[in-house]
Structures are given as C-alpha cells and as structure tokens.
C-alpha cells in the first residue's frame, strides 16, 4: 500500500506492507489484511490513515538498572512487564476513544 503526503498522490512518500491473516478459514472466506480496508488509488477516492504512540515506561529504566545492579532479576523483569502491560492498556484505551 503506497502512502502519499498529499491528495495529489503524485509521488509515494512510503509503502506499508501488511500480512494476510494466516488462520485456516472455511471455504470462500478470505484471509484479510489491513490493506483490504483502504480505498484503492484506482477508485479515484482519497483515504486517510492515522496512528498514535503511547508509553507507560518513562523513567522505568532507572528502576530496572537498580534492580539489576542488586542482582534482583525478579523485580527487574516485573518492572519491564508492568511497563509493557500499562502501555498495552493505554493503547487499548486510546484505540477505544478514537473509535468512539
């Protein structure tokens, strides 16, 4: 899928490549890709994409380093897991807010 910087679509800015779903499906059920939900350039219509980035780990590296320096692998791993789970939860919240 080509990405353009403006509505003229003269020169591609970048290209996104999406995999198709790999699950086995019943007969005549397509394996969809995110690209299937974008209006094709040949339609003459314009489509837009958007994205957002979240984090829940600002400053957590300091704590991971402290735990690792104390040879406390358990708490170091738990800090990493906690930051990851919080970022995932925040991404889900943002996704819900954008949809609604």
Find out whether 23 and 62 touch, Cβ atoms under 8 Å: no
Q: Over the stretch 2-36, which tens digit does the pLDDT of each residue have? A: 888 877 778 888 998 899 988 888 888 999 998 88
Which runs of E-coded beta strand occur in 10-100? 12-15
Supply the pLDDT for residue 64: 94
φ, ψ (nearest 5 deg) of residue 12: -60, 135
What does the pLDDT read at residue 12? 85
User: What whole-number distance in Å separates Cα of residue 82 and Cα of residue 79?
Assistant: 5
> DSSP letter at 38?
S
């Amino acid at each position: 899928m080509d990405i353009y910087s403006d509505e003229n679509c003269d020169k591609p800015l970048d290209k996104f490549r999406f995999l198709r779903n790999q699950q086995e499906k019943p007969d005549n059920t397509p394996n969809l890709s995110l690209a299937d939900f974008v209006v094709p350039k040949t339609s003459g219509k314009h489509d837009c994409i958007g994205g957002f980035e979240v984090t829940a780990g600002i400053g957590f590296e300091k704590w991971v380093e402290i735990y690792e320096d104390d040879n406390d692998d358990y708490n170091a791993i738990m800090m990493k897991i906690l930051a990851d789970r919080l970022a995932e939860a925040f991404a889900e919240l943002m996704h819900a807010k954008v949809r609604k």
